[in-house]
Amino acid sequence: METDTDRDSELPWTSARALRDKIQNKESSAEDLCRAFLHHAQSKDKDIGAFLELNETHILDQARAVDAKLARGQELGALAGVPVAIKDNLCVSGEITSAGSKILSDFRPPYDAHVIEKLRAADAILFGKVNLDEFAMGSSTENSGRHITKNPWNLDYVPGGSSGGSAAAVAAGFAPLALGSDTGGSIRQPASLCGVMGLKPSYGRVSRYGLLAFASSLDQVGPFARNVEDLALLLEVISGHDARDMSSANTAVPNYLQNLNGDLSGLTLGLPKEYFEATLDPEVLALTKAAIAKLESLGATTIDISLALNKYAIACYQIISTAEASSNLARYDGVHYGHRSDKVDDLLSLYSRSRTEGFGPEVQRRIMLGTFVLSTGSYDAYYLKAQKTRQLIRLEYDKAFRHCDVMVSPTSPFAAIKIGEKVDDPLTMYASDALTVSANLVGVPGLVIPCGFSKEKLPVGLQILGPHWSEQTLLNVAHAYQSVTDHHTKHPE
């Protein structure tokens, strides 16, 4: 006989769809479920540090509203009563949205991001704001201006970044779903390191309205989950055209969940040889090859392809992203909103002191680099050349996708690193994104699914990339792999 303790111990690992059905069928109230998730998060997060804000009153008010709607006989949304953790660079009206930075430590936006509006319309529960590298600039969540987030699988290791709080929250069972943002791998890399699933949609599939910008031509909002079905459901909820975002595509959104299909017969997987020739941890390489063999056993065929220009991707990405960061972050000047220094003598010192006190070292480094590459004498030599290289990389991807349906590769060259191990070595940290940044430069979607564990019992993820608007194909490949493996069902003790 199942006891309350048994039920509560399994609840954190229950799928989003099962939670929604429990509420819809009146097996449990949204309030009771949210109280259970709150208790789990409040008791465990002191060790992990996934959350920046976890407002119990706001969460329970949302849950009661779902219960009241059900009591009135009204139709519930697709995520009714389901907790969704929110990366703290997405605006939530009236709630602190800091982007993990001291410069916005008291900022309460007067509006919701588009994806937050979508979640509210789906009756989801906005379940706290989670940590990130400051302004999404980092690969380990060690650059947060608030605190370091730890990997739930081993508290001595990083969760990845910049969406480390989102990945850690899902991995630890604090919420079945989370939203993150991906500028150079910031959904896919932490998903890989924390043993969950993450998806960077095609650029333009999900509105960026209300996302605090890092690099506008690269940023994209996307979902985290522990299984493909939940990932598909959340992606469907947040996708769609938004006239307030000029980069938002006015294209139809498929029913990703309903169209899931695990049949891989006739599907061609491209293996970018440069991704496998990179400096990879041998365990990562072995687990990736084993995952590819599993996909072949399900009917897929593989071919070798070349992405020779990928060796320029990191340099190209760093120039373009820092240039856009320099421009986007110029608005935080101590005048209109955000941190303002009280140690000023004139306008110049107001600007310099407010920004010096408010921005952390990594953000300052990227602003200075971006300002340099945009300066007179450097614009043509660096920024313009990087944009031309970006176009060549895009054309190379287009050519490769004429020969294969999707590409598969490792996500990160290594599993999670120890906290503090590389924090003073920014070039090595930048190089850790070598397998993810190209997708952002090109704008194509990418999905990561767990494919095993290292000898230290740290997760490793398989990356699946597809052409524009191919999210359904990526989900189908992941669904097929999920059906014959159990990596996604494992969770930290």
- Cα Rg, the chain, nearest whole Å: 22
Eight-state DSSP code of residue 216: T
CA–CA separation, 200 and 145 (whole Å):
25
Place of tokens 């970018």: 272
Amino acid occupying residue 4: D
Instruction: Provide the pairing of β-strand 406-410 with 268-272.
Output: parallel
Closest CA to 403 of 270, 220, 295, 246: 270
Count CB neighbours of 457 within 10 A.
Answer: 13
Task: Give the Cβ contact number of residue 234 at 10 Å.
Answer: 31
H or E segment to which residue 46 belongs: helix 30-48
In sequence order, what are the beta bridge partners of 448?
Answer: 198, 463
Catalytic residues: 87, 162, 186
63-75 burial, b at 16+ Cβ within 10 Å, e below that, comes to bebbbebbeeeee
Nearest to 110 by CA among 206, 238, 210: 210
Check: CB of residue 228 under 8 Å from CB of residue 175.
Answer: no
Do residues 333 and 351 make contact, with C-beta atoms less than 8 angstroms apart? yes
Token pair in block for residue 446? 């990418």
CB 443 within 8 A of CB 203: yes
> Please, how many CA atoms are within 13 Å of residue 491, restricted to the half-sphere of its CB?
20
Q: Look up residue 16 and give its amino acid.
A: A
Instruction: Please name the amino acid found at residue 292.
Output: I
One-letter identity of residue 214:
F
Residue 459 is encoded by which pair of tokens?
Answer: 């997760």
Rounded to 5 degrees, φ, ψ at 127 are: -105, 70
In this structure, what are the phi and psi dihedrals at residue 189, rounded to the nearest 5 degrees?
A: -65, -50
Asked if 50 and 149 touch (Cβ cutoff 8 Å), the reply is yes
Tell me the sheet residues that pair with 212.
Answer: none
Residue 2 CA to its chain's centroid (Å): 36
Contact 32, 11 (CB under 8 A): no
Going by C-beta distance under 8 Å and a sequence separation of 6 or more, which residues neighbour residue 460?
192, 283, 284, 287, 288, 410, 411, 412, 415, 450, 451, 452, 453, 454
Q: State how far the Cα of 410 lies from the Cα of 274, in Å rounded to an integer.
A: 11
